């Protein structure tokens, strides 16, 4: 009786990463934005609600460089920051 296992019958098929996981920034393309975000966290005693603008910039950098899937910023929870941007621009146009 043969106890040899036949590994060739199973094939490995890679699958894309789960939603929410993304490749590391090996080349440091967004390092500047990451550092700003981390500094903000340290200064705010790790209250991430005070660092949302830096977080938004970091995610935008990652999306621009295809280190993560492009998603609308509203879907990532930054709708209020986008509304603030447009309100600021409108206010500047009035003056």
pLDDT (tens digit per residue) in 25-75 = 889 999 999 999 999 999 999 999 999 999 999 999 999 998 888 999 999
Cα radius of gyration (the chain): 21
> What separation in angstroms does the CA of 92 have from each of 6, 57, 67, 86?
71, 22, 33, 10
Q: How far apart are CA 40 and CA 53, in angstroms?
A: 10
Structure token digits, residue 26: 């090996």
Q: What is the pTM of this model?
A: 0.65
How is the chain split into domains, by residue range? 26-67
């Amino acid at each position: 009786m043969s106890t040899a296992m036949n590994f060739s019958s199973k094939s490995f098929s890679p699958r894309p990463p789960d939603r929410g996981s993304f490749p590391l920034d090996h080349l440091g393309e967004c390092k500047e934005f990451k550092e700003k975000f981390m500094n903000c966290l340290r200064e705010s005693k790790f209250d991430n609600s005070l660092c949302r603008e830096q977080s938004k910039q970091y995610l935008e950098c990652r999306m621009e460089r295809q280190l993560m899937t492009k998603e609308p910023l509203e879907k990532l929870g930054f709708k209020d920051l986008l509304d603030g941007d447009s309100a600021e621009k409108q206010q500047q146009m009035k003056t």
